């Protein structure tokens, strides 16, 4: 029996509403809230929350001195189509050159790493 269940994954960032909007563009869902804390209710999935963090410094990928600490794996059916969309939404490629792999690594607009993974 589980001790707990996952409530929400929270990402620190400088602008919670903007980052929630980015992930709403990627995952769908509804952005709720203003100010210091904003939620993204994702249909059929776990919610994401975004918390304002004064002095936020994005992780560097890959780097030991400011490690990524965590990242999101987002499963997609078409890597090329998904890549085009996330780049239009403001993502930046970190390690997307190797087209033979089943994943590509990007940073969201606040600098958090995430992967697009072929299903």
Q: Which residue has the tokens 């987002």?
A: 74
Whole-number pLDDT of residue 8: 84
- The whole-angstrom separation of Cα 91 and Cα 83 is 9
Q: Which residues contact 69 (CB under 8 A, 6 or more apart)?
A: 59
Is the pLDDT at 4 greater than 60? The verdict is no
For the chain, give every domain's residue range.
7-55, 57-119
- The helix/strand count (H/E) of the chain reads as 2, 8
pLDDT: which is higher, 58 or 29: 29
| Residue 12 CA, distance from chain mean position | 11
Topology (CATH) of 57-119 = 2,3-Dihydroxybiphenyl 1,2-Dioxygenase; domain 1 (3.10.180)
Q: At what angle are helices 79-89 and 16-27 packed, to 10 degrees?
A: 160
pLDDT digits (tens, 9 = 90+) for 79-109: 999 999 999 999 999 987 888 889 899 999 9
pLDDT: which is higher, 102 or 21: 21
Is the pLDDT at 77 greater than 80? The verdict is yes
Closest among 75, 68, 59 to 27, alpha carbons compared: 75
Per DSSP, the three-state class of 58 is coil
Phi and psi, residue 60, nearest 5°: -110, 135
pLDDT: which is higher, 1 or 41: 41
pLDDT digits (tens, 9 = 90+) for 40-49: 999 888 889 9
Topology (CATH) of 7-55 = 3.30.720
């Amino acid at each position: 029996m589980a001790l707990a269940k996952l409530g929400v994954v929270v990402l620190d960032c400088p602008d919670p509403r903007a980052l929630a909007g980015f992930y709403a563009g990627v995952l769908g869902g509804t952005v709720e809230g203003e100010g210091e804390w904003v939620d993204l209710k994702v249909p059929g999935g776990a919610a994401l929350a975004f918390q304002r963090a004064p002095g936020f410094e994005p992780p560097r990928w890959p780097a030991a001195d400011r490690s990524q600490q965590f990242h999101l794996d987002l499963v997609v059916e078409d890597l090329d189509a998904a890549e085009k969309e996330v780049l239009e939404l403001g993502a930046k490629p970190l390690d997307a050159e190797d087209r033979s792999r089943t994943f590509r690594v990007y940073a969201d607009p606040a600098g958090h790493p995430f992967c697009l993974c072929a299903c």
